[in-house]
């Protein structure tokens, strides 16, 4: 009986070592945390939603926050950083850096920030599923 309990403890400690992987992967790539957990439909729905919102925001000429001049810019930057690699690639390609010249750009900026916040929520959801705090 001690052999079974030792195996269970060893299995639990091995699971605890990788408990943050879905969180980090889900933040970097939308839906990846759920894909790692085998939640294919949920991961695909989240990935499609987040990528579409980010792309629509850029299509509306929304801006990607790059620096923090005031408190609202800092909050926008935090929301944008939630997009993970989407934000990093967008900044590297110079997307969303043009000055706002159309009225839809403000909506585009909000789409990009909301996509980042949704991605953070999805990554935390994947982490909660992984740790067992939430059942599928």
Q: What's the rounded Cα separation, in Å, for the pair 73 and 76?
A: 5
Q: What's the rounded Cα separation, in Å, for the pair 33 and 90?
A: 21
> 58 to each of 7, 71, 109, how far by Cα in Å?
51, 23, 8
Q: What's the rounded Cα separation, in Å, for the pair 21 and 57?
A: 28
Closest among 61, 33, 35 to 120, alpha carbons compared: 33
pLDDT, tens digit, 9 for 90 and up, residues 105-131? 899 999 999 999 999 999 999 999 999
Position 135 confidence tier, pLDDT thresholds 50, 70, 90: confident
Q: What's the rounded Cα separation, in Å, for the pair 4 and 20?
A: 26
Q: Whole-prediction pTM value? A: 0.84
């Amino acid at each position: 009986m001690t052999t079974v309990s030792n195996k269970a403890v060893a299995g639990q400690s091995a699971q605890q070592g990788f408990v943050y992987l879905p969180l980090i992967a889900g933040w970097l790539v939308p839906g990846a945390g759920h894909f790692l957990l085998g939640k294919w439909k949920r991961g695909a729905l989240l990935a499609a939603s987040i990528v579409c919102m980010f792309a629509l925001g850029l299509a509306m000429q929304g801006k990607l926050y790059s620096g923090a001049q005031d408190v609202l810019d800092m909050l926008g930057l935090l929301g944008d950083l939630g997009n993970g690699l989407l934000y990093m690639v967008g900044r590297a390609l110079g997307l969303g850096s043009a000055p706002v010249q159309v009225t839809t750009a403000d909506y585009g900026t909000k789409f990009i920030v909301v996509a980042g916040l949704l991605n953070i929520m999805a990554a935390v959801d994947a982490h909660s599923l992984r740790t067992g705090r939430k059942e599928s």
